[in-house]
Every structure is written in C-alpha cells, then in structure tokens.
Structure 1
Amino acid sequence: MDVMDWFARWYESQCDGDWEHGFGASIDTLDNPGWLLKVDLAGTECDGRILDRISHNYEHKLDWWTCWTEDNVFFGAGGPRQLRPLLEAFRDWATSVR
C-alpha cells in the first residue's frame, strides 16, 4: 500500500469521535525550506512509545530528514523532497513490533 494511503487510513482508524477533537496529525512547512510532520500519539496504539532521534543525510542542504518523539508526539522534519520518507519513517516505526 502506498504510504499516503496508509497514513490516511491510519489517521481514519484513530478517529473515534473524541481523538480527532483533541489530538491529530499535521503536515506543515519549514522555512529552510522543508516539511514538518507532527502526529499526536495519545490514545493510539503508539501511545507512550519512544523514538530516539534518527536522521538521514542531516548535513545536506535539501536531502535530509530526522524523526523523534517528544511529549508523546512523533515529529518528522525534512527537506522539501522528503515528505514521503518522513511518512515512511512514521509508518515503519508505528508498525514495528515493540
């Protein structure tokens, strides 16, 4: 399944009438330029899970990304062509065996 379809289905599966009102997911832009992915983990199967920072090509001007969790939120940030890798990193982490 394409990662965009997977993410849409993952989000939909979290929506229970409450979660989506207090929590959620967002994709925003960075000014360096790039993307910022934020996914609230409270109330999901990933609630309380930790991801120590992982990075790819972090020193590159455009072809970089990094992901981590902080305060029960998954964060992914990356260059302007790295939205798909950010979503893939979230999918890989979210579906990995604890």
Structure 2
Amino acid sequence: MNESEQLLGWLQDWYAAQCNDDWEHEWGVKIATLDNPGWTVTIDLEETDLEEHTYPRQDVNRSTHDWVWAWTSEKIFHARCGPANLTEALALFRAWAISNAP
C-alpha cells in the first residue's frame, strides 16, 4: 500500500470514528477543487477531540502550482493547495491530529 492509500485509509478511519449518529449530520470532511487550479479541504472539528486545538497558519509557496496553506479557525481545519498537493495537505492534517490525540 502506498503513502496516498495509507493516508486515505487513515482519513476514512478518522471520519468513521467521529460518526456517532449525530456528528455526521452536522459536520464532516469536504474536499473540492479550486479554479486556480487546486484543492480546498475543510474538516469540521466541532465535537471532536481536536475542537479545542489550533493549527497555526502555515503557507508553503514553492511555485504557481506547488503550494499548500493550512490553518484552523472556528473549530475547522482548512487547507488549500496546488493541483498535485492534496496528499501533502491531508498529511498535514493527519500529523497534527495524531500529535493532538488524547
């Protein structure tokens, strides 16, 4: 299994662990495309073990199509990234979530 598959498996497990017949009706994980081009990731932290933790804004700008920005605000983990940086953005969330796990 390659790194991307492991990362996606971890995200699926994290999401499933939040689902309690209530959380998934209000909050969730959203991945969409940007028109510049790139990706947007929004992960709701409300009512999770991460809701009181912050991720200071991190902007990595390597080139027009190679970049990733990540931060938390209002109990949401946000990431925006270039078209080939989705795995990197999700890996930032995983590393942060694991480091703040109870």
- Which TM-score band applies after superposition, normalised by the shorter structure? over 0.9
Match of 2:84 among 78, 81, 84: 81
| Amino acid paired to 2:46 | A
1:18 match:
22
Match of 1:96 among 64, 78, 99: 99
| Amino acid paired to 2:28 | G
2:10 match:
6
TM-align CA RMSD: 1.4
Q: After TM superposition, what 4+ stretches of structure 1 lie above 3 angstroms from structure 2?
A: none
2:40 match:
36
Q: Deviations over 1:12-65 (max 9, x none)?
A: 110000000001110011111000000000111101211111122x15100100
1:51 match:
55
Q: Which runs of 5+ in 1 are unaligned?
A: none
- Cα 1:70–1:94, aligned 2, differ >3 Å: closer, same or farther? same
Contact 2:50 2:100 in 1 (8 A): no
Match of 1:63 among 61, 66, 71: 66
SS of equivalent residue, structure 1 residue 39: strand
Count of aligned pairs between the two proteins: 97
Q: Which runs of 5+ in 2 are unaligned?
A: none
- What percentage of aligned pairs have identical amino acids? 37
SS of equivalent residue, structure 2 residue 66: coil
Contact 2:57 2:72 in 1 (8 A): yes
| Amino acid paired to 2:64 | K
TM-score (norm 1): 0.93
